[in-house]
Amino acid sequence: MSFAKNLARVSGVLSLALAVRGQKYNTTGYTLQDAYDASNFFESFDFFSGPDPTSGFVQYADAVTANSTGLAGYANNGIYLGVDYQTANPSAGRASVRLSSKKAYTHGLIIADIAHQPDSVCGSWPAFWTFGPSWPHSGEIDIIEGVNKQTNSTITLHTAPGCSFSQNSFSSADCGSPGDGTQGCGASTQDTQTFGAGFNAIGGGVYALQWTSDAIKVFFFPRTGKIPADINAGNPNPSNWGRPTASFSGGSCNIDANFMNHNIVFDTTFCGQWAGKVWSEDPVCSAKASTCQEYVASNPADFQNTYWLINSVKVFSEAGATKRGIAKRFDA
Ligand SMILES: *[C@@H]1O[C@H](CO)[C@@H](O)[C@H](O)[C@H]1NC(C)=O
Ligand SMILES: *[C@@H]1O[C@H](CO)[C@@H](O)[C@H](O)[C@H]1NC(C)=O
Ligand SMILES: *[C@@H]1O[C@H](CO)[C@@H](O)[C@H](O)[C@H]1NC(C)=O
């Protein structure tokens, strides 16, 4: 045991030395801080098994249940996070998982290589997002999110009122709107490869969140030949990436006062405050059942493709700003 510990310490010191030396010569400004993949994911993320804060028709499983029922595990060299697609009329909600990184981050570059995300299916509400303590005061960044048959990802920021961006590529709304942060600011992307079935049809791709004091940007790169070489090389350089899919900058928002200590989250819920709320406005879904919950309860087989398959999530910090960039985990 102490042998392993010593080894870890030695390799830690070595990589630190390399990183420090690298900073002198590399111009990208980003250094790998944490890599989560099929070798360590479930040791680095916690299962949230409480009632869904978004009032979904879902029962989030704990780690032991998720493993024993096949809801979560390592598969295809990646991380599989699925839902129960066999049980009809589960009384407490359809079983699913919601995982949060043990570590929390302020600033940095989060790069997620995702092979599959939940398909665009009536009743589902998957999300890949980050958020901090005392919601909405430490902010929330929704990187991939959508409901029901939607074909495009919605990228949204939430925080306390008084934060708006002039360079928000979607709208200029206050990210604390409508007074409690529940609506936030942001909008749908103009790209059907960013979400659900369209994303899965091309084998997924890479999402990157770049978060500095000046801007919050989200980039999406389809797997079909569009992933930048610097990402594949492990030396990401956002200044080479062109126009982001979403960019929030300028305006009145003090990013550092409104966004901090974020845990990284993947989840899939059903119905609730978004998918359920808009059910009756969706002509295709509402024709299948009068309520979202009724549909989700009685059509388990529709959720066979409602799963995440994540190759990796890598967190890079700004070189020279490592101390400032790392936040200790906040226990809820
Ligand atoms: C610097 O660049 C080299 C070559 O691309 C790479 O091997 C090294 O990991 C980089 N170092 C940092 C700190 O990014
Ligand atoms: C799930 O349980 C099996 C059997 O105990 C174990 O071998 C496996 O490592 C577990 N998977 C995860 C992701 O913890
Ligand atoms: C989704 O993307 C397509 C193009 O890829 C676009 O035509 C459509 O308007 C987008 N949908 C929404 C709701 O923005």
Task: Supply 59's token pair.
Answer: 């029962």
Determine the Cα–Cα distance for residues 55 and 84; give it in Å rounded to an integer. Answer: 18
Predicted TM-score (pTM) of this structure: 0.86
Query: For residue 151, which atom of ligand 3 is closest to its CA?
Result: 1
Would the pLDDT of 11 be above 80?
A: no
Terminal-residue alpha carbon distance, the chain: 31
Determine the Cα–Cα distance for residues 238 and 231; give it in Å rounded to an integer. Answer: 9
Between 278 and 28, residue with greater pLDDT: 278
* Structural domains counted in the chain: 1
Residue 200 lies in a domain: yes
pLDDT of residue 172: 58
Question: Is residue 63 lining ligand 2, measured as CB closer than 6 Å?
Answer: no
Residue 187 lies in a domain: yes
Residue 217 lies in a domain: yes
The per-residue DSSP string of 10-50 comes to: HHHHHHHHHHHHHHHH--S-EEEEEEEETTTHHHHEEEP-S
What is the CA(15)–ligand 1 centre distance, in A? 11
- Token pair 């392993």 is found at 4
Which residue is closest in CA terms to ligand 3's atom 11? 190
Which stretch of 6-20, 233-247, 302-316 has the lowest confidence by average pLDDT?
6-20
Question: Is residue 152 lining ligand 3, measured as CB closer than 6 Å?
Answer: yes
E-state strands within 132-270? 140-145, 154-158, 185-188, 205-211, 215-222, 246-249, 263-270
Q: Which residue range(s) make up the domain with 152?
A: 30-322
Residue 330 lies in a domain: no
Q: What is the pLDDT of residues 143-161, one digit of tens each?
A: 999 999 999 999 999 999 9
Question: Is residue 65 lining ligand 2, measured as CB closer than 6 Å?
Answer: no
Longest dimension (CA), the chain: 62
Residue 83 lies in a domain: yes
Q: How confident is the model at residue 141 (pLDDT cuts 50, 70, 90)?
A: very high
Which residue is closest in CA terms to ligand 2's atom 1? 67
Would the pLDDT of 76 be above 50?
A: yes
Backbone φ and ψ for 230, nearest 5 degrees, come out as: -70, -30
**Residue 82 and residue 71 in contact, taking contact as beta carbons nearer than 8 Å:** yes
Which CATH number is 120's domain given? 2.60.120.200
Mutational pocket test of ligand 3: of 147, 152, 156, the residue with most ligand atoms within 8 Å of the beta carbon: 152
Would the pLDDT of 34 be above 50?
A: yes
Query: For residue 193, which atom of ligand 3 is closest to its CA?
Result: 5
Would the pLDDT of 57 be above 70?
A: yes
pLDDT of residue 286: 98
Query: For residue 198, which atom of ligand 3 is closest to its CA?
Result: 5
Q: How confident is the model at residue 324 (pLDDT cuts 50, 70, 90)?
A: very low
Question: Is residue 74 lining ligand 2, measured as CB closer than 6 Å?
Answer: yes
Residue 253 lies in a domain: yes
Residue 105 lies in a domain: yes
Residue 18 lies in a domain: no
Q: What is the pLDDT of residues 242-269, one digit of tens each?
A: 999 999 998 889 999 999 999 999 999 9
What is the three-class DSSP state of 289? coil
Q: Count each helix (H run) and each strand (E run) in the chain, helices first.
A: 9, 19
